[in-house]
């Protein structure tokens, strides 16, 4: 079975977005990161800014998965969920539909979990040490309001909590992914090579 769908989960600043873009370019397939936001905005009616924000914060409320589990039809009980949880339901549908449409690369948003049962999906986790990521976020994103280490720790923690809330799995656990790559050591280009190579094994 060809690995058509590639999900990229990543630690902030480790180059996951860049790697995802390069992989999509090399494979000649669509790339979705912030591009997802517009699609979700269209379908949900939520404002793009809210979607970007809520895409990082998990609500401090009762278990999302419990709400889904006890509901025969999540869409009909959505009004009882927090707005962030409602957003996640829309996001899930957008991601599933994109995967149905055809080959693509999707960054973040628990896509690895949402598409976990698709045999044509390859799940990748990109990470790097603090020093490498700190240099990148200052250089590429101009992240200077906080010290880089503080900013990295904060973003990583948000992602852990978000992922746990929506998947009940531990973000960054190697066994959630097919490939985990330290981009600081291996390099962005070589990470891209490895992912493309593994995806193409199935052609």
- Which residues are near a second copy by CB under 8 A? 11, 122, 125, 127, 172-175, 177-182, 185-187, 190, 194, 197-198, 201
Q: How far is the CB of 64 from a second copy (least distance, A)?
A: 24
Alpha-carbon distance 116 to 118, whole Å? Answer: 6
Q: How far is the CB of 70 from a second copy (least distance, A)?
A: 28
Which of 103, 187 has the CB closer to a second copy? 187
Q: How far is the CB of 186 from a second copy (least distance, A)?
A: 6
Angle formed at CA 194 by CA 193 and CA 197, multiple of 5 degrees:
85
Which of 103, 172 has the CB closer to a second copy? 172
| CA-based torsion, 87, 35, 39, 50: positive or negative | positive
Which of 1, 60 has the CB closer to a second copy? 1
Alpha-carbon distance 140 to 53, whole Å? Answer: 20
Q: How far is the CB of 175 from a second copy (least distance, A)?
A: 5
Which of 109, 133 has the CB closer to a second copy? 133
Query: Quick check: 106 and 8 in contact, CB under 8 A?
Result: yes
Q: Of 200, 199, 190, which Cα lies nearest the Cα of 19?
A: 190
């Amino acid at each position: 079975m060809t690995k058509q769908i590639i999900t990229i989960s990543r630690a902030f600043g480790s180059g996951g977005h860049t790697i995802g873009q390069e992989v999509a370019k090399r494979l000649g397939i669509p790339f979705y990161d912030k591009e997802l936001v517009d699609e979700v905005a269209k379908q949900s009616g939520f404002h793009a800014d809210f979607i970007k924000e809520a895409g990082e914060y998990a609500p401090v409320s009762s278990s999302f998965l419990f709400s889904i589990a006890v509901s025969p039809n999540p869409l009909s009980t959505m009004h009882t969920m927090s707005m962030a949880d409602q957003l996640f339901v829309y996001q899930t549908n957008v991601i599933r539909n994109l995967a149905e449409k055809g080959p693509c690369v999707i960054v973040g948003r628990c896509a690895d979990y949402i598409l976990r049962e698709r045999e044509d999906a390859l799940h990748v986790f990109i990470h790097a040490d603090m020093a490498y990521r700190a240099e990148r976020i200052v250089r590429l994103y101009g992240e200077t309001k906080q010290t880089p280490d503080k900013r990295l720790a904060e973003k990583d923690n948000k992602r852990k909590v978000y992922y746990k809330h929506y998947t009940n799995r531990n973000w960054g656990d190697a066994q959630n992914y097919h490939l985990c790559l330290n981009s600081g050591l291996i390099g962005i280009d070589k990470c891209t090579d490895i992912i493309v190579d593994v995806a193409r094994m199935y052609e």
